[in-house]
Structure 1
Amino acid sequence: MSVFLPTLLLCVYGFFSNLRPSEPFLTAYLMGPDKNLTETQVVNEIYPIWTYSYLVLLFPIFLVTDYLRYKPVLLLQASSLVVTYVMLWKAEGLLAMQLLEFFFGLATASDVAYYSYIYSVVEPEHYQRVTGYCRSITLFGSAAGSLAGQLLFSVAKVQLLHLVIFTLASAGVAFLAPWFLPMPKRSLFFHKSPGAAEERPGSRSSSQMEKTEDLENKMPLNIQESTTMSRSSEAERRHSGLKEVLRVLFEDFVQCYRCGPLLAWSLWWALATCGYFQVVNYAQALWENVRPSKNYEIYNGYVETLSTLLGALAALLVGCLPVSWAVWGEMALFLLSLLMAACVFVMDTVKDIWLCYSSYVLFRATYMLLITVATFQIAASLSMQRYALVFGVNTFVALLLQTLLTVVVVDTAGLGLNVYTQFLIYGAYFAVISVIFLLAGLCKLASRRRSEQEVLTNGRAETESDSPSSSEAASCR
C-alpha cells in the first residue's frame, strides 16, 4: 500500500497534467480571432520566452526540489499549469502571452520533481516498475489529449477557446492530486536516509558512487535540540550544507564526464534535444503556413497522437533490437541523426501538408527511440544521484544551446527569421550532428582495428619467443 498510493496519485497527476486538448492547436489559437496575434509575434516574440525561462529556472528548481523534498515543487508545478491556462483563456495582448510562457517554463522546469518524487518514497527494488508507470502515463495522457482535441475540433466542431477551457479543467483535476501525496522524509542530496552515506571513491572506495556525508546527522532532527541551537549556528549549518552539496555535485560531474562512452551519449543527448525542442516548438507555425487553419481543416491532433504513440512504441522496442550499442552506437547515431535531418528538410522544402505530417511523425519516433537508448546507456552504469545529475546537466546544456539558437535565429533581437528559413537551419543542424558522429564512429572503428592488430602482433611475438623452449616444456611433462 505504501508503494501503491503515491504511485497511483502520481499517475493521476501525470495523466491529467499532460491531458491538453488545446496543445496541438496552440499556434492556430493564438493567431486566430480569439487572440489575434501575428505570426511574427507568436513565433519570434512569444515562444522564445519559454526557452529562456526554462533555462534560467532549471538549476534553481533542481536544488529547491531536493531541498524542499519534491512535494512543494509538485504543487508549484500544478499551480503554474493552472495559471498558464487561465491566462491562455482570459488574458489578451503580447505581454500577457509572454508572461504565460514564463509560467509554462516554470511548470516545465518543475518536471524534475515529478520524475524524482517516487524514488524518495519507494524502495530501490520498485524503481524500474514505478518509473515505467509514471513515464508511460504521461505519454498516454499526452496522446489522449491530442486525440480528444482533434475529435472535439473536427467531429464535434468545438471552438478552440473551448479546448483551452477543457485543458484548464484537466489542469484543475491534476492540481488536486499532489495535495494527498505523503511528504518524503529523504531526498537525493540534502536529506539522505541514515544508511545512504557511502564512502567516496577518491578516498576509500573507487567502485561505489560518490556521495556526500549524511547531512541529516549534522542537523537537529528534534525540537529540543533545535531550540537550543542559535539562529546563527543554524544558518551556518544550512550554508555549509549547500556548499557541501554543490561540492559533491561538481566532483560527481567531473568524475562522470571522464567516461568516454557516457560523454558521447551525453553529447548526442544535448545536441539532439536542442534541435528536437526547436522543431517541436515551431512545427505548428510551419504547418500554419503550409495549410492555414483559416482556410482548411487541420489535423494537428491526429499527428501529435500518432507521433507520441509511435515514439512510445519505438522506445519499447529498444530492448528487442539486436544491436551492440557499445560497438555500433556512434554509427547508429550518425544514420538516425541523418534520417532526422532528412525529415526536417522534407518538412521545410516540400509544401505538402501530408508529407510535413509524415516527416514530423518519423522525426519524433526516431528521436524517442534514440533518447531511450541514450537514457539506458547513460543510466546503466550510474546510481540514482549521478543519474539525476547527468540527466540534469545534459538537459541544461541542451537548453543553453537552444537559447543560443533561439536568440540568433528566432528572436527579433537576433535575425528574427521566418519559419521556413528556421527549419532549413534546423535541418542543417541535424546534418552537422550526423557528421560529428560519423567521424566519431570512424575513429572508434579505426582505433579498435589498431588494437586488434596490436594484440595479434603481440600474440605472434610471444608465440615465437616461446617456441625454442617447447622441447624443454615437453621434457617437463
Structure 2
Amino acid sequence: MHAPGFIQNRTTLTCAVVTERSMMSAVYPTLLLCAYGFFSSMRPSEPFLTAYLMGADKNLTETQVVNEIYPVWTYSYLALLFPVFLATDYLCYKPVLVLQACSLVLTYVMLWKAQGILAMQLLELFFGLATASEVAYYSYIYSVVEPELYQRVTGYCRSVTLFGSAAGSLAGQLLLLWTETELVHLVIFTLASAAVASVAPWFLPMPKRSLFFHKSPSAAEEPAAGSGSGAEKLEDSESRASMVTGRGRRPVQVLRMVFDDFVQCYKCRTLLAWSVWWALATCGYFQIINYAQVVWEDIRPSSHHHIYNGYVETLSTLLGALAALLVGYLPVSWARWGELLLWILSLLMAACVFVMAWVDNIWTCYGSYVVFRTVYMLLITVATYQIAASLSMQRYALVFGVNTFGALLLWTLITVVVVDSAGLGLDVHTQFIIYGGYFTAISVIFLLAGLYRVFSRRSNEEVLTGDLRESSTPLNGEATATVE
C-alpha cells in the first residue's frame, strides 16, 4: 500500500501537470485572439471620424451625420445583437469571428471609397454587424481553455483591446500633427490594421463545445454557482442535464433554458440593482461617445484649427483602464454602499455632460469628456465584478448579454425620439443637455435606492433588537430565580 503522503504528492504533481498542459494548450489561441483584438481595435481614424465625414472628402453636413447616418449604427446593433448571440453559440464562435473581421474590412473600404448618405448608412449597418459580433470575441476563449485560466485570459483579451484602441488614437493624432497626414490616409491606415487583424481568426482552432447548443454532458451536470439552495441547484443541474440530446440541443430547448436562467438570475436584489445601472448608464455612455466629436467640431472646427481628439481618446482610454485596475484596491464595501456611491458618481457624470453642452472652451470640454469616461470605466468594472461574483460562466454570458440588450433597447428609443430626423432631430448641444438630465435622473434613482436600503436595514435592526429584548424579558415582569 502507498503511504498517504505519497498519494498526496502524486495527486499534487498530477494537478500541476494538468495545469501546465492546460496553459500550454491555451497559449496558441490566446495569442491569436490577442493579436486579433489589438489590430481590430487599433483605428487611427476613429477620433476624427466626424471631421472626416464633414470635411472635403465626404462633404456631408452636421445634420446628415448626426440625424441620418449615425443612428443607423444604433438600429443595426440592436437588431443584430440577439440573432448574432445565438448564431455565435450555434456555430461555435469561429465563423462569427471571421464574419466580424470581414465586416470591419468592408466598413473601412466603404469609408475610404464610397460616397453619399446611402453608402454611409450601409457602412453603419456593416459596422453594427461587427459590433454585435464582439460577443464571439469575448466568449470564444472560454470554449478552448480550462476554467482555472478564465480570469487570466479574460484579462489579457480585454487589456489588449484597450491598449490597441489607445495606440490607434495616439498614432492618428501624431500622424495628423507631426506629418500633416490627411484624414483619408488615417482611414487607409485603419483599413490596413483591420486587414491584418482579419488573418488571425482563420487560424484559430475550431471549438468542439459552446455554452448552450454544443455542451458536454459533464458541463451540463455542473450546478450554477453562487445562487439558490442546494435543492434549487440540484433541480437546475438536473433540468440542464435532461436537455442534452445527442451532440447538441434544439433551439426551443435553448430558448427555454435561457429564459429560466434569466428569471433565476434577476431574483437577486444586488444583481438587479447593478444590472439596472449597467443598462441605464451604458445607454447614456454610448450616446456621449458617439456624438462627442460633433460637439468638439462645433467648438473648434477642424477646417480652421488643429484638433486634438486623438490625445483625448488616448488619455481617457488609459485612465479608464487604470481606474478599472484600481477597483480591486479601493477600500470600499460596494455591496453595502453601492447605491449611494452610484448616486454620487452618476451625478458627477451628469455634471461632465452639462459642461460639454454649455461651455464653449474646447479644453474644458475635453477634460469633462476624460473625467466622464474614466468614471464610467471605474463603475462598469465594479458592476462587472458585483454581477459576476456569484454567477456561473453560462449565467455570466446571459446576464451581460441581457444588460447590453437592455441598454441598446433604451439607446434606440432615445435615438429615435431625440436624434433621428424622423423624430425631434435636435441639434447636438440640445441633445447633450437632455443627456445631462438623463444622468441626473439615474443619480436620483440610486439616491432613493440607497436611502431605502439604509433605512430598511436600520428598521430591521430595530425590530431585531426589540425581539431580542422581548425574548430576554421574563413573563409577567418577574425576575427569574438563579439556581445555585
**Could you say which residue in structure 2 is the equivalent of 1:150?**
173
- Cα pair distance change 1:450/1:423, threshold 3 Å: same
Q: What's the RMSD between the two structures over aligned residues?
A: 1.8
User: Could you tell me whether the CA contact under 8 Å between 1:198 and 1:209 is conserved in 2?
Assistant: no
Q: Go from structure 1 to structure 2 and tell me whether the alpha carbon gap of 1:28 and 1:126 turns closer, same or farther (over 3 Å shift).
A: same
Q: Spell out structure 1 runs of 4+ moving beyond 6 A.
A: 199-204
User: Larger deviation: 436-445 or 463-472?
Assistant: 463-472
Equivalence for 2:426 = 417
Cross-structure match for 1:213: 240
Corresponding residue of 1:233 = none
State the Cα deviation string for residues 366-413 of structure 1 (Å, max 9, x = none).
000000000000000100111011100000010000000000000000
Counterpart of 1:450 (choices 459, 476, 482) is 459
Query: What residue is the counterpart of 1:56 in the other structure?
Result: 79
Distance in structure 2 (CA, Å) of the matches to 1:205 and 1:75? 42
Query: Is it true that 1:135 corresponds to 2:161 in the alignment?
Result: no
Report how far residue 213 of structure 1 moved: 3.5
1:37-83 C-alpha deviation (Å, 9 max, x unpaired): 00001010000000000000000000000000000000000000000
Alignment of 1:375-454 (within 5 A): 375-454=384-463
8 Å CA contact retained: 1:11, 1:134: yes
Q: Residues of 1 paired with 2:368 and 2:241: CA distance?
A: 50
Q: State the alpha-carbon separation in 2 of the partners of residues 440 and 210 from structure 1.
A: 31
Residue equivalent to 2:10: none
Q: 1:464 to 1:203 in 2, by over 3 A?
A: closer
Deviations 1:287-327 (A, max 9, x none): 00011001110000000000000000000010111111111
* Deviations 1:216-257, CA, capped at 9 Å, x for gaps: 9523x6xxxxxxxxxxxxxxxx8x711001001001111111
Among 184, 187, 190, the alignment partner of 2:210 is 187
Does residue 351 of structure 2 align to residue 342 of structure 1? yes
Match of 2:40 among 17, 20, 24: 17
**What does residue range 18-97 of structure 1 map to in structure 2 within 5 Å?**
18-97=41-120
The question of whether the paired residues in 1 share the 8 Å contact of 2:215 and 2:244 is answered with no
Alignment match, 2:309: 300
Residue identity matched to 2:481 = S
1:218-367 alignment, distance < 5 Å? 218-219=245-246, 241-367=250-376
SS in 1 for 2:474: helix
Distance 1:156 1:54 in 2: 36
Quickly say closer, same or farther: Cα 1:101–1:215, change in 2 above 3 A: farther
The number of aligned residues is 456
SS of 1:2's partner is: helix
Equivalent in the alignment of 1:114 = 137
Distance 1:214 1:99 in 2: 43
Tell me: CA distance 1:469–1:141, structure 2 relative to 1, closer, same or farther (3 Å): same
Q: State the TM-score, normalizing by the size of structure 2.
A: 0.91
DSSP 3-state at the match of 2:250: helix
Q: TM-score, normalised by structure 1?
A: 0.93
Structure 1 unmatched runs, 5+: 222-237
8 Å Cα contact 2:220/2:244 also seen in 1: no
Say which SS state the counterpart of residue 199 (structure 2) adopts: helix
What runs of 5+ residues in structure 2 fail to find an aligned partner? Answer: 1-23
